Amino acid sequence: MGEQAILEVQAWEALDSRGTPTVGCEVILSDGSHGSAVVPSGASTGRHEAVELRDGGTRYGGAGVLTAVANVEGPLAQAVSGLDASDQRGVDAALRAADGTSDLGRYGANAVLAISLATAVARASRVPLYAIDGHPPLLPMPMVNVISGGAHAGGALDIQDVLVVPVGARSFREAIEWAWQVRRATAECASAQGLPTALVADEGGLGPHLATNRAALELVVEGIERSGLRAGTEVALAVDVAATTFADRNGYDLRSEGRRVTAAELVSELAEWVRDFPIVSLEDVLAEDDWGGWRDATSRLDSIQLLGDDLFATNAARLRQGIEAGVANAILVKPNQVGTLTDAYDVVTAARQAGYNTVLSARSGDTEDSWLADLAVAWRTGQIKVGSTTRSERTAKWNRLLKIEADLGPAAPFASWPSSPDPPPPSK
């Protein structure tokens, strides 16, 4: 048995930030190292994501994960027992082979990812997670949630999030400080309009009911100006349209505004936003399978980052389809969409090699874990999106990045905008 062989796997039913059950896991290695991880889960999940296993029945309204927990401690633990934890690719391959399905529907992507993550964290008992493979570190540019709608805020808006990107920041510390200034100033602007600001959405953003989706962009720009920062040159906007959540057979239903639009009309409206606001990134501008609409959007909105989340679902095959079709130019990467760290890393690598930007992302139902921050640095994704500057499951990631920056010292490498670092080195 090797020095870092997997000796024991333990799992339990935990809670994510929305109070929904999820899988927690601890992996113990033969050298005494151990690591634990709690798997996140999403609210707006695309149908092309790996399958998250839920119990059904009456416990937790059917959302319990005791079956997935049993799968971690049973067949999946058996599959990795004695394997070298330093060979992440080998561990993840064994997990995938044990499940035997392309979407991890047999044992559950939440069960598989639990072991994959906990194994990586266990390896980091001696060396920081961002450094375990020896890759050159790169602190990511943060995308920070300021206003939420859609599935993150009870449908207060049709679009899901308006975020700020501190494009002029020279360090991660400065970037977070600027984002904090803008969020506070935006809350002050909202309060001055008589809008409530005490309660927040799933990811810590403000969730006011506004007359139009466009009004959310206007409010954040007002917040940037009130903060004393320059809109466009120092702080820009990103919008998660999350169009899949309001798409149907007849087009796109903007319920909060009481109107319906076609794909072409939605793209035209987004083009107006890009013209009128300092937007540098749009996410999920059309539904996950509206490839024709996406091609039109990519042609008409080629001056900014077009980010695919539901469109690509951290899926290598869908990413290849997008690259071949010339659709989008960036991908949101969520490890729980695909089920293992190796698969997520390979998607990052393939995207970078094709010239696509990469954004590592948390989920709306996230946890107090901070491993995502380390992965963004190690994988050199260039961008990270974890939510707002409030709620501890969000600040855990920001705080971890601030600590990594402090550890790396004054010359800590920070991704400038637009983000275009080289593809990450091969994983080990």
- Tell me the C-alpha distance between 338 and 313, whole Å: 7
Q: Is 419 helix (H, G, I), strand (E, B) or coil?
A: coil
List 26, 203, 222, 405, catalytic entry: 203
CA atoms of 268 and 266, how far apart (whole Å): 5
Count of all residues that appear for the chain in the document: 428
Bridge partner list, 387:
144
Could you give the dihedral angle defined by the CA atoms of residues 79, 81, 84 and 86, in that order, rounded to the nearest 10 degrees? 80
Beta bridge partners of residue 35, listed in sequence order: 27
Residue 203 falls in the annotated catalytic set: yes
Distances (CA, A) of 410 to 79, 170, 262, 381, 414: 44, 11, 50, 21, 11
How far apart CA 135 and CA 425 sit, in angstroms, is 7
Q: Using an 8 Å Cβ cutoff, are 361 and 314 in contact?
A: no
Distances 62 to 55, 58, 366 between C-alpha atoms, Å: 6, 5, 19
How many angstroms separate the Cα of 222 from the Cα of each of 142, 219, 234?
20, 5, 14
Which one is catalytic: 234, 288, 334, 393? 334
Place of tokens 């990103």: 238
386 within 8 A of 362, measured Cβ to Cβ: yes
| Sheet of 34-38, strands arranged across | 6-15, 21-29, 34-38
The residues carrying an active-site annotation are 203, 334
